[in-house]
Amino acid sequence: MPPRTQRPLHQQLVVTLYGLYGGKTGGSFRVAALVAMLADLGIDEQAARSTVSRLKSKGILLSQRDDGVARYALSGDVLDIFDSDDKPIFAPERSKPGDPWSLVVFSVPEAERNRRYELRAELTSLGFGFVAAGVAIAPSTAMDQAMKRLAERGLDRYAEYFSGDYLKCGDIRGQVSQWWDLELLDRQYSDFIDSYEALARPWQERAQAGQPLSAADRLDAFRTYVPMLTLWRKFPYRDPNLPLEYLPAGWQAPRAKQAFLTLHGILRAPAEAHADDLLRSRGA
């Protein structure tokens, strides 16, 4: 498991488990199977069941009965988001200098200020920065998803959408650092590197040896892969994928991405094999 500073929330792990392995069981897990998978990720039974209960109360997990056995399925809306995110997770599109910018200009009445918070949170999660209080900016590649997401959330009635060029003279790198918290994002990439980069070499050595992995090896792969993927999923959206020319020297994203892709290529199959064994043993 990664260090404590890099451990994803229990609820995030549950969503990842459904996204990765729910299709093997018709989209739902027996409670015992879900608890067992979480146990293999270092979460005790009481905490696991508490997490399931919270997700059920939020409508993220939906309860089902199968021959009297309790099962839970992931909400279709959440699963759709997980599935649609695959391309940006593995191949985010980086913009180029001179590409147009996307602008979302929004205004929310004071009486609905909770909706203003929701709108800003959605835009932030899609990689937008903020030029001013009601003006969000991102590369043009972000606009289609932003329009779709705000419409789905009932937030597009507060927003107008524009595409344009930046015309002010000077070094745009200084402006970009004001619109996005690049220092925070770079630290998060560095944390990811600290947690996972060093793990790549021993797994590469195992893979190059060409020897079958033991059950313990597959469990180790599962324990590493699921949290790693869960943590990585946030980056392609928090990161606006600006041109490298606009970013600070020593930007950590390419190095972090290489660590992720290396481990993903090695760990995905043995982690899945462990999950398959566990689900079969639990009749899931």
**Residues 265 and 190 occupy one common structural domain:** yes
**Residues 189 and 224 occupy one common structural domain:** yes
Last residue of a domain, one of 138, 164, 190: 164
pLDDT digit string (tens) for 16-44? 999 899 887 778 888 889 999 999 999 99
In DSSP terms, 233 is beta-bridged to: none
Cα separation of 220 and 150, whole Å? 39
**Residues 119 and 207 occupy one common structural domain:** no
The whole-number average pLDDT for the span 237-252 is 89
**Residues 203 and 275 occupy one common structural domain:** yes
Residue 236: band (very low, low, confident or very high) from pLDDT cuts 50, 70, 90 = confident
Higher model confidence: residue 81 or residue 11? Answer: 11
Cα separation of 177 and 179, whole Å? 6
The whole-number average pLDDT for the span 153-169 is 93
Residue 69: band (very low, low, confident or very high) from pLDDT cuts 50, 70, 90 = confident
Residue 59, SS3? coil
**Residues 233 and 187 occupy one common structural domain:** yes
CA distances from 182 to 42, 66, 136, 240, 284 (A): 32, 48, 15, 10, 43
The whole-number average pLDDT for the span 250-266 is 93
Domain count along the chain: 3
Using the predicted structure, report yes or no on whether residue 4 has a pLDDT greater than 50.
no
Last residue of a domain, one of 53, 81, 109: 81
- What percentage of the chain exceeds 90 in pLDDT? 57
In a domain, 245, yes or no: yes
**Residues 206 and 273 occupy one common structural domain:** yes
**Residues 236 and 193 occupy one common structural domain:** yes
**Residues 160 and 196 occupy one common structural domain:** no
Using the predicted structure, report yes or no on whether residue 277 has a pLDDT greater than 90.
yes
Say if residues 10 and 51 touch (Cβ distance below 8 Å): yes
pLDDT digit string (tens) for 203-235? 888 888 877 889 999 999 999 999 999 999 888
**Residues 185 and 159 occupy one common structural domain:** no
User: What's the pLDDT at 88?
Assistant: 64
Residue 174: band (very low, low, confident or very high) from pLDDT cuts 50, 70, 90 = confident
In a domain, 94, yes or no: no
In a domain, 172, yes or no: no
User: What's the pLDDT at 19?
Assistant: 87
Q: What is the CATH number of the domain that holds 29?
A: 1.10.10.10
In the chain, where do the E strands start and end? 28-30, 61-66, 69-74, 101-106, 129-132, 135-139, 159-164
- CB-based contacts of 176: which residues, under 8 Å, 6+ apart? 129, 182, 242, 246, 247
Residue 87: band (very low, low, confident or very high) from pLDDT cuts 50, 70, 90 = low
In a domain, 256, yes or no: yes
pLDDT digit string (tens) for 88-97? 677 667 888 8
- CB-based contacts of 21: which residues, under 8 Å, 6+ apart? 37, 272, 275, 279
- The parent domain of residue 24 ranges over 4-81
**Residues 210 and 136 occupy one common structural domain:** no
Lowest mean pLDDT among 3-12, 78-87, 113-122: 78-87
User: What's the pLDDT at 25?
Assistant: 76
User: What's the pLDDT at 40?
Assistant: 96
CA distances from 104 to 89, 142, 197, 235 (A): 23, 11, 37, 21
DSSP assigned state of 101: E
User: What's the pLDDT at 281?
Assistant: 86
130-135 contacts at long range (C-beta below 8 A, 24 or more positions apart): 130/179, 131/103, 131/179, 134/105, 134/106, 134/107, 135/103, 135/104, 135/105
Last residue of a domain, one of 129, 164, 199: 164
pTM assigned to the model: 0.84
